C-alpha cells in the first residue's frame, strides 16, 4: 500500500498544482501561491485550507506571527515543546529547530506520550511551548495551564490557542455523551466551549498574556490574500508572570 500510495501521490500533487495555479492567495507556511484556498470544515468555510501544505487559517496566522513577532527563528538554541503536532507545521519546525524540537501527545503519534496535566519535565526547562486546540479536550484545563507555566523558563514564552465561541466559558463535567457534547460544545470530544474569559484562566494559572488579532498585524488586503478570516482566531502569547 505504501508503494501504491507513493505512486499515486506524485500525479495527484501535480494535478492539484494545476487546478489551483494562480497568485490570488499566498500561504506563509509553505510559501506557495494559489488561485484560491480550499473550502473545509463543517459547515464548509471558504478560503480555509492551503492546497499545497493543508494549513488552515489558524496555522497561517500562527506562522506569520512566529516569523514577525517572536525570536523562534533567530538561530539561537531553544527547546520547544509542541503539543499534538500538526502535519503542516511539524516538519517545518523540525527543520529549523533540529534536536531541540520535541513533540508530545496523549493519544496520537509523537516523540513523547504526555498527559499535559502531569508533564514529566523539570521546572523551567522549556524555552517555547506551542499548544493549539487541545485544552478544550482536557477536563482539568487549569491544571494543564499551571503545568505549562511550571516548565516554562522565566524568559520563555508559550502560545496556547483555543477556539473561542462565546463571551463566557461554558462547561459541565456531567456532560459525557458524544451527542450532548456535540450539541453543547460543538464537537463530540470537547468538554467545554471557551469564551473571552479564557485569558483570565491563563492569568490565574501564572501567565501574563497578550492577545493579537489578524487586523493588529495586517491590512485587510494582505489578510484576504492569506485567507486569514475570522476563523484564524487570536494569538494568545503567554509569559511567566514573575510579579505574582
Residues 70 and 133 in one domain: yes
Residues 71 and 183 in one domain: yes
- pLDDT category at 130 given cuts 50, 70, 90 is very high
pLDDT at 6: 47
Sheet holding 235-240, edge to edge: 112-113, 101-105, 80-83, 126-132, 152-161, 235-240, 207-212
Q: What is the pTM of this model?
A: 0.91
Mean pLDDT of 92-118: 95
State the total domains in the chain. Answer: 2
Can you say how many angstroms the Cα of residue 162 is from the centroid of all Cα atoms in its chain?
8
Which range marks the domain in which residue 132 is found? 56-240
* More confident of the two residues 107 and 29: 29
Residue 134 has pLDDT above 70, yes or no: yes
Closest by CA to 191, choosing from 140, 143, 137, is 137
Residue 8 has pLDDT above 60, yes or no: no
Look up the CATH number of the domain holding residue 183.
3.40.50.150
Residues 128 and 163 in one domain: yes
pLDDT at 15: 63
Closest by CA to 25, choosing from 50, 55, 54, is 50
pLDDT at 10: 53
- Contact of 235 with 64, CB cutoff 8 Å: no
Q: Which three cell numbers stand for residue 93?
A: 519546525
pLDDT at 5: 45
Can you say how many angstroms the Cα of residue 214 is from the centroid of all Cα atoms in its chain?
15
Residues 195 and 90 in one domain: yes
Exposure on the CB side of residue 176, measured as CA atoms within 13 A: 3
Q: Which three cell numbers stand for residue 85?
A: 503536532
% residues pLDDT > 90 (the chain): 84
pLDDT tens per residue, range 194-211: 999 999 999 999 999 999
> What DSSP string runs through 157-176?
EEEEE--EEESS-EE-TT--
Helix (H) or strand (E) holding 60: helix 57-69
Tell me the pLDDT of the chain averaged across its residues.
Answer: 92
Residues 32 and 84 in one domain: no
Question: How far apart, in whole angstroms, are the C-alpha atoms of residue 52 and residue 176?
Answer: 37
pLDDT at 135: 98
Residues 169 and 134 in one domain: yes
- pLDDT category at 228 given cuts 50, 70, 90 is very high
Amino acid at each position: 500500500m505504501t508503494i501504491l500510495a507513493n505512486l499515486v501521490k506524485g500525479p495527484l500533487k501535480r494535478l492539484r498544482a494545476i487546478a489551483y495555479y494562480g497568485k490570488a492567495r499566498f500561504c506563509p507556511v509553505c510559501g506557495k501561491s494559489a488561485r484560491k484556498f480550499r473550502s473545509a470544515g463543517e459547515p464548509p468555510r471558504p478560503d480555509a485550507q492551503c492546497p499545497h501544505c493543508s494549513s488552515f487559517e489558524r496555522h497561517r496566522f500562527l506562522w506569520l506571527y512566529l516569523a514577525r513577532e517572536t525570536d523562534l527563528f533567530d538561530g539561537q538554541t531553544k527547546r520547544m515543546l509542541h503539543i499534538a503536532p500538526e502535519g503542516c507545521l511539524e516538519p517545518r519546525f523540525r527543520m529549523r529547530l533540529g534536536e531541540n524540537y520535541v513533540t508530545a501527545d496523549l493519544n496520537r503519534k509523537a516523540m513523547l506520550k504526555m498527559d499535559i496535566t502531569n508533564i514529566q519535565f523539570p521546572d523551567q526547562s522549556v524555552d517555547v511551548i506551542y499548544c493549539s486546540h487541545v485544552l478544550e479536550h482536557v477536563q482539568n484545563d487549569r491544571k494543564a495551564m499551571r503545568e505549562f507555566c511550571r516548565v516554562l523558563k522565566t524568559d520563555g514564552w508559550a502560545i496556547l490557542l483555543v477556539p473561542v465561541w462565546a463571551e463566557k466559558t461554558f462547561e459541565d463535567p456531567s456532560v459525557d455523551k458524544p451527542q450532548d457534547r456535540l450539541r453543547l460544545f460543538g464537537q463530540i470530544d470537547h468538554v467545554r466551549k471557551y469564551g473571552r474569559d479564557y485569558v483570565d484562566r491563563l492569568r490565574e494559572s501564572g501567565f501574563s498574556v497578550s492577545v493579537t488579532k489578524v487586523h493588529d498585524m495586517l491590512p485587510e488586503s494582505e489578510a484576504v490574500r492569506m485567507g486569514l478570516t475570522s476563523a484564524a482566531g487570536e494569538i494568545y502569547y503567554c509569559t511567566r508572570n514573575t510579579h505574582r
